[in-house]
Amino acid sequence: MKLTRLILAFVGLFSLPVMAQQAQPLDVEAARAALSAKPSRNPVKSTSPIVKRSYERRAGKGLAVETGAPITVEVEIIQREDGTTEEHPFVSLPILFVVNSDTLLDATSRMNADQMASILNDLIHKENARFALQGHTSAEGDTEANQTLSGQRAASILAVLTAKGVPSSALVPLGLGETCAQFSETAPDSQRQLDRRVLIVRMK
């Protein structure tokens, strides 16, 4: 009898409902403030090849913010072959994808993308802003497959945004694969998850 109960309990562990993953809600006001920070103007516009991309969090000092309120922004720093640099504010869009797919996983991810569309529409129409949609993956898996997947995910977000009225002419989808991954393929999944992202980067 005891053995039977133990077996039933063991089997029961595998029949428990699995908690579905869910994206965190987008902080709409914080995202709007961050993307209102215009990129710093470079004295020379360079088309030299990019040799490095890095990402920093910093105070909004020196950036022209529409509200004038002090904010903390995340900034992409581009270093080019000719020695010039560019800085672009960005927001990491809180979304989750189905594994190895460009399909959004949950309702919160879809809602976040819809809310981002509203923010981008405002900035594009008021300020003639332009944005890059950067798809990133974590470091594990095949490099070429990661490159392809990141491009598909960026294109997927482009489709969602344009379906909500964001002009495609103001958006550039860009797959960067694992080239900017911060954590190794042997890092805990909780860290590698941070590298699986889509960034909304203000280019103009």
Query: Which fold does the domain 22-202 belong to in CATH?
Result: 60s Ribosomal Protein L30; Chain: A; (3.30.1330)
The pLDDT of residue 13 is: 43
Report pLDDT digits (tens) over 5-61: 444 444 444 444 444 578 899 999 999 999 998 887 655 678 899 999 999 987 754
Q: What is the pTM of this model?
A: 0.82
Mark 152-185 as b/e (b = at least 16 C-beta within 10 Å): bbbbbbbebbeeeebeeebbebbbbbbebbebee
Which tokens is 104 given?
């959004």
